[in-house]
Copies of this chain bind each other. A is one copy, B any other.
Amino acid sequence: MAQSSTVNGRGTGEAEIRSLVADSVKALRAKDIDRLVASYAPDVMLFDVVNPLRSRGADAVRKRLEDWLTFRDPIEYEVRDLSISTAGDVAFSHSLNHVNATTNDGKKLDMWWRASVGYRKLDGKWLITLEHVSVPFDVTSGKASLDLKPE
């Protein structure tokens, strides 16, 4: 609480993270991969929606974006129920993210997923050091649940 009105305190940190997320939404809609990748720490840990179990590094993030971000304009993309916890140079957030778009080869994608993100402030700049994005699976079918919507 004492931190919330200081320059490096919770209020400022939360506003900075919220701004970073808002910028990433714009960058994703613009398919601006360089701008997206600039927010990741060089050694970020990535737990992705699809295989493998984990990968590490901003280069892995770039590769994933290049493989995935093959949508026609316009891309509908939103980050819902963003919650941020921050103190000093550490922050984490969670949200439900949603894309509704058509791939370049004509497939519709309308999907929600869970996102948990860890951040560290390094040399005055917040960077993503952990990104965990996933969908749950259905126990009976063993299939990933690609069509769930927030209650």
Contact = CB atoms under 8 A, between A and B. Distances in A.
B145 A53 contact: yes
Interface in A41-98: 45, 47-54, 83, 85-92, 94, 96
Given A87-B90, A92-B130, 10 more contacts: A47-B94, A53-B96, A54-B114, A85-B120, A87-B87, A88-B90, A114-B134, A116-B130, A134-B135, A143-B143
B90 A86 contact: yes
Contact of A54 (B45, B96, B129, B146): B96
A47 B91 contact: no
Interface string A97-137: 00000000000000010101010100000000110101111
Contacts of A146: 142
A138 interface: yes
A18 to B, nearest CB: 16
Assembly stoichiometry (copies): 2
Contacts of A45: 83, 94
Given A45-B94, A83-B45, A51 B116 contact: no
Contacts of A85: 90, 118, 120, 129-130
